Amino acid sequence: MENFLKAQRGSHVNGISELKTYLHRFGYLLSENANFTDAFDVTFESAILRFQSNLGLSLSGKLDFDTVSQISAPRCGVPDTIFSTSTFTLHGTTRHYAYFPGKPRWARRMPMKLTYAFSPDYTIRYLSSSQIKAVFKRAFARWASVIPVSFSETEDYVYADMKIGFYSGEHGDSEPFDGVLGVLAHSFSPENGKFHLDAAERWAVDFGTEKSAVAMDLESVATHEIGHLLGLAHSSVKQAVMYPTLRPREKKVDLQLDDIQGVQALYGSNPNFNVGSLSESDISTNQALNLRSTTRLSSISAIASFWFFLNLIHFFSSM
């Protein structure tokens, strides 16, 4: 760690080749040659700057503490490259929510109904089936509360729209898992429906009873990956559910305005959704809109109505 912090362009530091491999895997270092060296070169510096920009870090171009800390954090296996971005500006601040290439979405009649199922073969034994199902029911419900899409569990795994399983190592999709921490899970864009979690992780549904220092919150990861299944890519907003990293024993399950506006631009708004249902703390700390804690809910409702109107125009024009 100390050697990385002292590194600068022109230096050679053991381990930089591994950082290059990481940046290449997640879309920041574009190279056909994966035989990386330990040289801190211009290409590596540019990749660091892209990484820092995309994850909302200070743009130092160096391996500072925050950058190395983010690289070492457990994360989703989906690359971070922002292929297509919708932007909006408020209070002079521009933020982004991102999609997969081509902006894919589930193409069904509205209101949409999608099914999900759990693999009968690829699961974990230290959590009961009822515990796992309860976590996913809550995670799907969060997304359903903001868009006109409902999710129901089915026992028919073969024909379910979304297929969930816990896998180890290489498992047939050319995206092998890497053991404890590292990559936690990955899922695929619409309408693939595959959602894979690393069985090697210590998955937790209650940190009160699960004492492991490396325990990962299953509900947080489930909520994040469902966003990918619906068509969202990663967000640069740190509070957003769609931010790519999650720390051990951290819980992040509440959709932020960045998450909501991104998914509503794809599917429209649930007619029962009201921004007032978000807690004041969620709104006041949401970097996507750069709102101060003193912002009144009445003003936020007016803003949300404006964006809801724009989302409806976008939704119907894309049909």
Q: How far apart are the first and last CA of the chain?
A: 51
Tell whether residue 80 is among the known ligand binding residues: no
Tell whether residue 92 is among the known ligand binding residues: no
Tell whether residue 228 is among the known ligand binding residues: yes
Tell whether residue 96 is among the known ligand binding residues: no
Tell whether residue 91 is among the known ligand binding residues: no
Choosing from 170, 219, 225, 280, the catalytic residue is: 225
Tell whether residue 178 is among the known ligand binding residues: yes
- The distance of Cα 282 from the centroid of its chain, to the nearest Å, equals 17
Tell whether residue 66 is among the known ligand binding residues: no
Tell whether residue 201 is among the known ligand binding residues: yes
Tell whether residue 280 is among the known ligand binding residues: no
Tell whether residue 171 is among the known ligand binding residues: yes
H/E/C letters for each residue in the chain? CHHHHHCCCCCECCCHHHHHHHHHHCCCCCCCCCCCCCECCHHHHHHHHHHHHHCCCCCCCCCCHHHHHHHHCCEECCCCCCCEEEEEEECCEEEEEEECCCCCCCCCCCCEEEEEEECCCCCCCCCCHHHHHHHHHHHHHHHHCCCCEEEEECCCCCCCCEEEEEECCCCCCCCCCCCCCCEEEEECCCCCCEEEEECCCCEECCCCCCCCCCCEEHHHHHHHHHHHHHCECCCCCCCCCCCCECCCCCCCCCCCHHHHHHHHHHHCCCCCCCHHHCCHHHHHCCCCCCCCCCCCHHHHHHHHHHHHHHHHHHHHHCC
Tell whether residue 12 is among the known ligand binding residues: no
Catalytic status, residue 225? yes
Tell whether residue 121 is among the known ligand binding residues: no
Tell whether residue 198 is among the known ligand binding residues: yes
Tell whether residue 15 is among the known ligand binding residues: no
Binding residues for Ca(2+): 161, 178-179, 198, 201
* Catalytic sites, residue numbers: 225
**Residue positions in the annotated binding site?**
76, 161, 171, 173, 178-179, 186, 196, 198, 201, 224, 228, 234, 242
Report the binding-site residues for Zn(2+). Answer: 76, 171, 173, 186, 196, 224, 228, 234, 242
